[in-house]
Each structure stands twice: as C-alpha cells, then as structure tokens.
Amino acid sequence: MTYGGSTIAGNLSQDTVTLATDPIPNYTFGCLQKTAGNSVPPQGLLGLGRGPLSLLSQSQNLYLSTFSYCLPNFRSLNFSGSLKLGPNGQPLRIKYTPLLKNPRRPSLYYVNLVSIRVGRKIVDIPPNALAFNPSTGAGTIIDSGTVFTRLVQPAYVAVRDEFRRRVRVANVTSLGGFDTCYMVPIIVPTITLMFSGMNVTLPQENLLIHSTAGGITCLAMASAPALNVIGNMQQQNHRVLFDVPNSRVGFAREQCS
C-alpha cells in the first residue's frame, strides 16, 4: 500500500496490545517488511484517523473515540509531547469548532476554515478556496502527519502576499518548497486561522522555519493543489482535542515540553 510519498509492504497481524494497563484484545496492526520513500518514519505510524483499523476505531469501547495530543516545538530540547486517550483528563477550557464528515475521505478530520487574518487584516480569499465540498473532497483538514500547512493556491497567495507586505523587506528569496524567505532579521506578523466558532492565532514560533546553514528564515507554509491542510508545525504548543462523538475539535495553547 502507499502512504504519502512512500510505498510500504508488510504483514497484517493480530495480538493483544496493552496501553498502560488497558488491554486491547485482537488488535489488528501492520508489521512493515519494506518501505520505499521517506514518508514513513522508522518508528512506524500510529493511526489516529477515523478509519476502521485506526487505534481510535479499535479501542472505541475503551476511549470512546476521544483523544488529544500536544506536539512540542521542533527545536525543543526534550522533544516530548503527550497523547491523552479517552475523555478523562481532557482540558475543560478549550475552544471548539465542528468536525465535518466527508464521504469521499471518511478517515480525515475536516473542519470549516472561514477566513485567515494576517496581523489585523482579514485577507481576501475567494470563498470556494476554503469551502467544504463533500462531493469533491475539497475543504480543510487538521492533520498531524503533514509537517507544514498547505493552502490551495488562491488562499496561499493571499496570505503570502499580505505577510510579505507586513514584513516590509524587499529581498524575498526561496528555499526548497518555500517561496517567502529572508536573509535578514524580520518582524513577523501573527497569522490567525478563523474557524467556525474558534480562532487560532499562530505566533512566530509556529510560522517560521530556519535553514541549518546560511541564516535563511522562511514562512513555513506552501501552496497545495486541492485541499487545505493544517499541518503539525502550526499545531505545535497547542493541545488539540478530537471529540468524535460530539463531532468537534478543540485548540488551546499549551507548552508541550
């Protein structure tokens, strides 16, 4: 089968898996024999989607399809976030937006991204660039397996151009897949993702990626062909709570490491 840009081969296995003191009998999982590509890390992958073989689906009786995670900043020294399974111990003070279902891609967590603000300005994005469309699979998903946020072309261009205008540095360059990079120190505007019922304001640490050599700083977003994806760098140092029975996902700021 394929995952991202990788091809994987292996065996489907079954056993009792114990998480802390919670046994999950007849748990189905894959044992990889061979991978090609770089989308699958050597540690493997934990399925947190809504598909039938995900951890959430197979442990539904235990954890009631509810979980949250907190991802540390990628430059954190400890680099240890947390995963909380089940409704107990989840944050009470958290902002929610409704989860949407898309029959074309039923395992993904769709949300309604209404608009995006750069600094104090809501940028001009054509409504169909953000609109949820269950017949085509278009819309916006929250995805911990994608590193950087990707926006469809009209949305990305609008955000990028306003970001450049507010940074006010003329020598914009590119690096790899990033087209808004600077070789001098910059003052960075916040970017606010405005969902139905909830705004998530991203500070500098969630917006910039730095090259290991050469002192280049880039806006850590890029364009996408058909689907808006809120990636894990933009989720870092937030508690992200998926409450599937109540069809909602929540965000709250939290220092994860």
Q: What are phi and psi of 63, to 5 degrees?
A: -110, 0
pLDDT, position 41: 80
pLDDT, position 35: 87
Give me the count of residues in the chain: 257
CA angle 224, 35, 71 (to 5 degrees): 55
pLDDT, position 120: 95
Strands 248-253 and 238-243: antiparallel
pLDDT, position 3: 81
Reported pTM: 0.93
pLDDT, position 170: 87
The secondary structure of residue 138, as a DSSP letter, is: B
**Alpha helices (H) along the chain:** 55-58, 60-63, 127-130, 153-167, 232-235
Q: Can you list the domains of the chain with their CATH numbers? A: 1-45 (no CATH), 65-253 (2.40.70.10)
Average pLDDT by consecutive 10-residue portion of the chain (257 residues)?
Answer: 86 95 96 86 86 95 97 80 95 95 94 98 97 94 95 98 95 92 94 98 94 86 96 96 97 90
pLDDT, position 231: 97
CA angle 230, 233, 236 (to 5 degrees): 105
pLDDT, position 37: 87
